[in-house]
Structure formats: C-alpha cells, structure tokens
A = this chain, B = another copy of it.
Amino acid sequence: MKLYEQYAAEIAALIANGDLAPGTRLPSVREARARRGVSASTVFQSYQMLERAGLVQARPQSGFYVAATATPGANDLAVAEPGTEASEVTVSELVFAVLGAARSGDVAPLGSAFPGPDLFPLGQLAKAAARGLRQLTPQAIVDHLAPGNPRLREQIALRYRIDGIRLQADEIVITNGALEGLNAALQVVTQPGDTVAIESPAFYAALQAIERLKLKALEIRTDPEHGVDLDALADALARQRIAACWLMPTFQNPLGSLMPDARKRTLVALLARHGVPLIEDDVYAELYFGSQRPRPAKAYDETGLVLHCSSFSKCLAPGYRVGWIAAGREAQRLQRLVLMTTMAASVPAQTAVLNYLEEGSYDRHLRRLRATLATRMNAAIQTIEAAFPHGTRVTRPRGGYLLWLALPAGLDAMRLHEAALRERIGIAPGHIFSPDHRFSDCLRVNCGHAADEVLPALRQLGRLAHQLQRSSA
C-alpha cells in the first residue's frame, strides 16, 4: 500500500467509526503535512482518493469535508415488499390535496420537490435572457420549435460528451421541463390498459401519468442504496407483458438511491432482451456529492430503447421549464408529439439558458450548488437524528436534496402531515408514492432550502412525531 493509500485508509476508518462526522473539515494539506510529516502531494492524493470514493468532498476555496453520504446508514431502511400484480392507480387526487395544501407562501416547503430558489443564478439568467433576446432575429423564432434551438441542443449534447456519454444533438428534443418529456415518452410507448414497471416507492408524477393515461402500475422492490431490484424486475418481465419501465436510476425520488454503473448496464441489457423501453428520469444527476456525474442508463443504450429525460429545473433555472428528452428510436414521434401539443419550450427560456451556458460559468455554479446541497443535507440528517423519535430511520443519498424517513412502527405520516400543516410546515407523506398508499409510515422531506427555514421546521416535525407517538401509545 502506498503512503497516500495508507493515510486515506486511516481517515476512511475514522469516518466509518463515526469519529469524523459528516460535515467535518479535514485538516488542510499544510496542517496534515506538518502533523504527519508527509509530503503535500501525498496528503492531496489521499484526499482525492477519498473524494473518488465519495467519502469526502472538496469545497472550492475551503478544503475537504467529510461527505453527508460518508456513513451510509440507509441500508437498514426496511424495503417494503410490493405485490406482484399490476394495479390501477388512483393517487392523483391525494397528491393534489396533499401538495396543494402546502403551496402557500407561508408554509415551510419541506413537502415541495423544488430546491430553494436562492440557490440559482437568477440575476445572471435574467441578463442572459436580455442579451439573447436582444440579439435574436425575428426569423430565428421558428428555429425554437421542437426539436428546439439547435445551439442549445448542441450545448446539452456537449455536456454529455464531456462526461463520456454518447448522445447526439440530433437525438435531443427540447421540452417544457423534464415532466413534458416524461409524460410524452409514456404516451408514445404505451396504450391504455398496458402495464408500466415503476420503483417502489415511486415518484408521484409517474403514478399520476400512469393514472391519467389509464395504465397499470407494477411496483418493483427498490433498495434505498442501489435502486430497483434487478432480480425482481427480471422475474416480472418473465412473468408478464410490461409495456415500459419508468425509473430514476440516479438519486431516485423519493429514496435517493443510486444504481451503480454495473447495475445500470445490466438493467439496460435486461430490458433490451425483452424489447421493453426504459423511460429514464435523470433530473438529479448533476446534483452528485461524489467526484463525478453518475452515468445515466442511456450511456449503455445500444438499441435506442432508452428514453432519457432531464432538465435545467433542478440545477440551474427553476421555473424556466427547459428540459430535454433523448428518445432513441422514438425521437421522431416525440418531436411530433411536442409539436402537436406545446410546439416548443418558450423562446425567452431557451434563449436565456443557451446564453447562460455559452458564457461558461455553469460548472462553477454547479460546484457551488452541489457543495451547498451536501451541507444542507448533512445538517438536515443530523437534525432529524436529534429531533425525531428513537427508531426513525433516514436515507443518506449521495446527491440531490430529498430525504426519505421511516417513522417508528405505528406512526402514520398522513397524521404527521396534517399536524405539520397546522403549524405551517409542508411534508410529502409516503402515501403518495405508491398506488396502494402503502408507505404510510414514511415521508419525504426536502432539505434543499435555506438552513434557517429547514432546520427549525425539522425540529418542529420531530416534536410533532414525538407527540404522535405519545398519543398513539
């Protein structure tokens, strides 16, 4: 073992033992060199190795910190076993009731799916919009119709290529947020009555789309750490006709699970063997806490069966509604569907995002954003552990800003939701993440907002959970 590997292993052990808590700053290179008598490059190599392992993270101009995800404790989160039958979905009303109630400005947005809007370069985007629109010739308007502005599609393709992911600009269709792409994809590859395989728990927007298009949902067991269970999926594919899968292999909503690359590759191959399209929701991929962007399932797509959807809504421009879909063999049908229903993402939004990207400060923004979200998530996890009743378990995602909590047995998240709402706190109760409202003791909280908004709300939620526990005891 080289010296830097040895040093890295020592630190990794301290992290695993809990002696170095998430969020702790590691000694600076200079301090460590002085203390240990090793070279600066040895220290630096150790820290980089730890960073690649996802145990620490670099923050610009600040140093290295123990990552929020460094002590994975999510594995012990019980995996609820779904049934093996596809079922009709009637969850949409509940989603609107629950999330609509919390949409008011004076409700702490822990139930929301949007990160804090303070995190985004809105001023720079406004300038980019102004500059772009000033330069726009009237004739250029038609170039923004689906498939969308060619330069913007090229910028998006370029980002994939830099990350070593094969994706051609001409496969990309700009959409009104990822949600339009996801819904359009589902519409294109299914007929009413078809069965769609989803994660369990699943993002409620997938459930709503399935309900709206009169499809059936088949839940597949999903691990909070590694994502959808491929054996369970293989069994399901062998057993019944599945028209499509709608999955989030990277930072799944709500679990935050991240499928390792090898599993993504296996997933794509498995579906290709069965000729089943994969609708991949990849909107959180840029919000990784590790050292590099997790590869999408699309990176392993050789048959054009992966319909890969993403957007700038979670990482750059919330509300701008600029997303995209790389729909493989369905690219033309997708483009036509967008043309027939919304025609395009709006010219000012496409223009603003394009001009911002061409400026070249997106990566700097993303580095800051990831560091901020990791810090916020860390603080949220610590607060939850301190404030919630004993027996509460919480995920430790390696990216994003959503946490999934399992309350001690017997506590009902819908009752917590109701109590919280009376105190002007929104949460997303587990009921809305499954066709049969099964995750009744779970909830999703958004920790992507400012700490002074999130942490007091989490403490208050903890108190309410304690009260609930006492009253139901």
A→B interface (CB under 8 Å): 92, 96, 103, 105, 112, 114, 116-118, 120, 122-123, 125-127, 129-130, 133-134, 136, 138-139, 141-142, 144-145, 176-177, 179-180, 183, 192, 205, 208-209, 212, 318-322, 336-337, 339-349, 352
Contacts and interface: CB of A to CB of B under 8 A. Distances in A.
Contacts of A136: 122, 126
Contacts of A130: 126-127, 129-130, 133
Contacts of A134: 123, 126
Determine which residue in A130, A344, A348, A352 has the highest number of CB atoms from chain B within 10 A of its CB, and name it: A348
A209 B340 CA distance: 7
A23 B136 CA distance: 33
Contact of A340 (B144, B205, B318, B337): B205
10 contacts: A117-B139, A129-B129, A129-B348, A130-B133, A144-B319, A176-B176, A176-B321, A176-B346, A319-B347, A321-B345
A212 B133 CA distance: 34
Contacts of A321: 176, 342-347
Given A176-B342, A341-B179, A122 B133 contact: yes
| 4 residue pairs, one from A and one from B, having the closest CB atoms | A117-B138, A130-B130, A126-B133, A319-B347
A340 B183 contact: yes
Given A105-B142, A117-B141, 4 more contacts: A112-B142, A123-B134, A179-B341, A183-B341
Interface of A is mostly: helix
Contact of A348 (B145, B208, B346): B346
Contact of A139 (B105, B142, B322): B105
Nearest to A344: B321
A343 B349 CA distance: 15
Contact of A322 (B141, B176, B346): B346
A176 B174 CA distance: 14
A331 to B, nearest CB: 14
A136 B120 CA distance: 13
Contacts of A129: 126, 129-130, 133, 348
B343 A179 contact: yes
A67 to B, nearest CB: 27
B126 A138 contact: no
B319 A180 contact: no
A346 B344 contact: no
Determine which residue in A138, A208, A321 has the highest number of CB atoms from chain B within 10 A of its CB, and name it: A321
B342 A342 contact: yes
Nearest to A321: B346
A100 B106 CA distance: 48
Nearest to A209: B340
Nearest to A211: B340
A203 to B, nearest CB: 12
Contact of A141 (B126, B183, B318): B318
A340 B133 contact: no
Nearest to A187: B212
Contact of A92 (B139, B183, B340): B340
A364 B180 CA distance: 36
A117 B127 CA distance: 23
A112 B158 CA distance: 32
B347 A320 contact: yes
B133 A342 contact: no
B103 A342 contact: no
Contacts of A122: 133, 136, 138
A123 B134 CA distance: 6
Contacts of A96: 336, 339
